[in-house]
Amino acid sequence: MTRGEHGISREDVSPNALKVMYRLNGAGFESYLVGGCVRDILMGHEPKDFDVVTNATPEQIKGLFRNCRLIGRRFRLAHIVFGREIIEVATFRGHHSEPDSNDEAAGDSKAAKAKVTAKQDAHGQLVRDNVFGTIEEDAERRDFTFNAMYYSVADFTVKDFAGGLEAIEKREVRLIGDPEVRYREDPVRMLRAVRFAAKLSMSIHPDTATPIKKLASLLTNIPPARLFEETLKLFLSGKGEATFLMLREYGLIAPLFPQIEPFLADESCREMQFILKVLRNTDDRINNDQRVTPAFLYAALLWYPLEEKSQILQAESGLNAHDAFNIASGEVIAKQTQRIMIPKRFSTVMRDIWILQQRLPKRFGRRAFQLLTHPKFRAGYDFLLVRGQIEGGELLELAQWWTQFQHADATKQKGMLNALRKSENGPRPRKRKRRPAKRPPDA
């Protein structure tokens, strides 16, 4: 596509990305903007980041940029650092295949080289993929059709190798190549398909959607640390509620959150309503540029498994409620981190939010004022408020009490505590004065 056909201007592109491409071009290499940034500009969205692809090897890229660092084992990438902005530069990826005996004997054949630089596990998943190739091969190795468009600052054209513009017009998420093979190569592509569909208000093409339920269990082979990063993209994009519903539709909740799957019987159950309410609130905060923390979201996702585990421990082990709750919280987090690694800085906050659910009902004496000074009071209160809105009854009354108490002046707070004490204990009976015992008459 020429400049007049696609309408992309250099004004739409990060100045730092332009610097990277100009320098690569000036050194005799090809370079292009690729992937999500090209797609977003064509859809009228503002890209969050800019990725560049080139025929220069990672070592050649590093030789051109002092502010470059090479990262990655599965596929080697160059990060060009401009303060807070990082321009990711990748070398064109090529095809790989297992060499036959003649190739191995040749020693320096292309296939023999592929064996050294590309590796798959028993499930077909790529664990190393440093095979370099041409732009045409790179396009075939891209995941979705709308991510295989390349913008050049050399001639201002867009190369569309896989019908990406057509996918945008039809609003379809469609994989390049055989979907089952591509999912086996990298099961995270199933999550990406859902994320793009929710984020871009698209549908997933039937050929791309059909294998997902069958292959969902492959996600258990993905390192938990990588899945943590992927779930942040899923739920902190401003489309978390729609994404969660789509994950459930395609059977992707169980491999990510096995403990909550049994609770999601239907959309009307309280557990489902609670999670959707939290995601809806999170979406609103993100779309209004307010801060959010993954700890709150994970605390919500695992709240009902925690409640159930605590009750089981009390019934089976005879533990008191406090000890059962503490043990259950540790076990629930430990089980979740087998699938998705939750960094300690977030799991600690999750525990604080959960513990506050135990403490907030205890408001007598100085406890209410002490809870107001707790560093995580606001998060604990917000969590309680959503629980109250979903479950109603005494829980909602408790949340409403805290809503009033935290904003009241000192006199009103004292009055609220006095009223609470009276309502809990009722009127205190008057103490009857004991009459002194009669002294026996002197003998």
Residues serving a catalytic function are 49, 51, 143
Residue with tokens 């690729």: 34
- Are the beta carbons of 90 and 49 closer than 8 angstroms? no
Helices (H), 171-258: 179-185, 188-199, 206-209, 212-215, 224-235, 240-249, 253-256
Are 251 and 212 in contact by the 8 Å Cβ rule? The answer is: yes
DSSP character string of 170-181: HTEE-BSS-HHH
DSSP H or E run through 153: none
Instruction: Name residues whose C-beta falls within 8 Å of residue 385's C-beta, 6 or more positions apart in sequence.
Output: 399, 402, 403
Which helix (H) or strand (E) element contains residue 77?
Answer: strand 77-82
**Structure tokens given for 97:** 């295949």
Q: Are the C-beta atoms of residues 27 and 54 closer than 8 Å to each other?
A: no
List all residues 6 or more positions away from 169 whose beta carbon is below 8 Å from its beta carbon.
none
Within 2-49, where are the H helices? 3-6, 15-26, 36-42
- State the residue for tokens 């459930």: 248
Amino acid at residue number 431: K
Whether the CA torsion 284, 204, 48, 4 is positive or negative: it is: negative
Name the 3-class secondary structure at 196: helix
- If we measure between CA atoms, which residue out of 199, 211, 192, 91 comes closest to residue 144? 192
Q: What does DSSP assign to residue 229? A: H
Alpha carbon dihedral 232, 237, 238, 242, in 10-degree steps, equals -80
Could you write out the DSSP letters of every residue in 84-143? TEEEEEEEPB-------HHHHHHSSSHHHHHHHHEEE-TTS-EEEE--B--HHHHHHHSS
Place of tokens 């089952």: 180
Inter-residue contact 184 to 222 (CB < 8 Å): no
Kindly write down the DSSP assignment for every residue of 290-326, as one continuous string: ----HHHHHHHHTHHHHHHHHHHHHHHH---HHHHHH
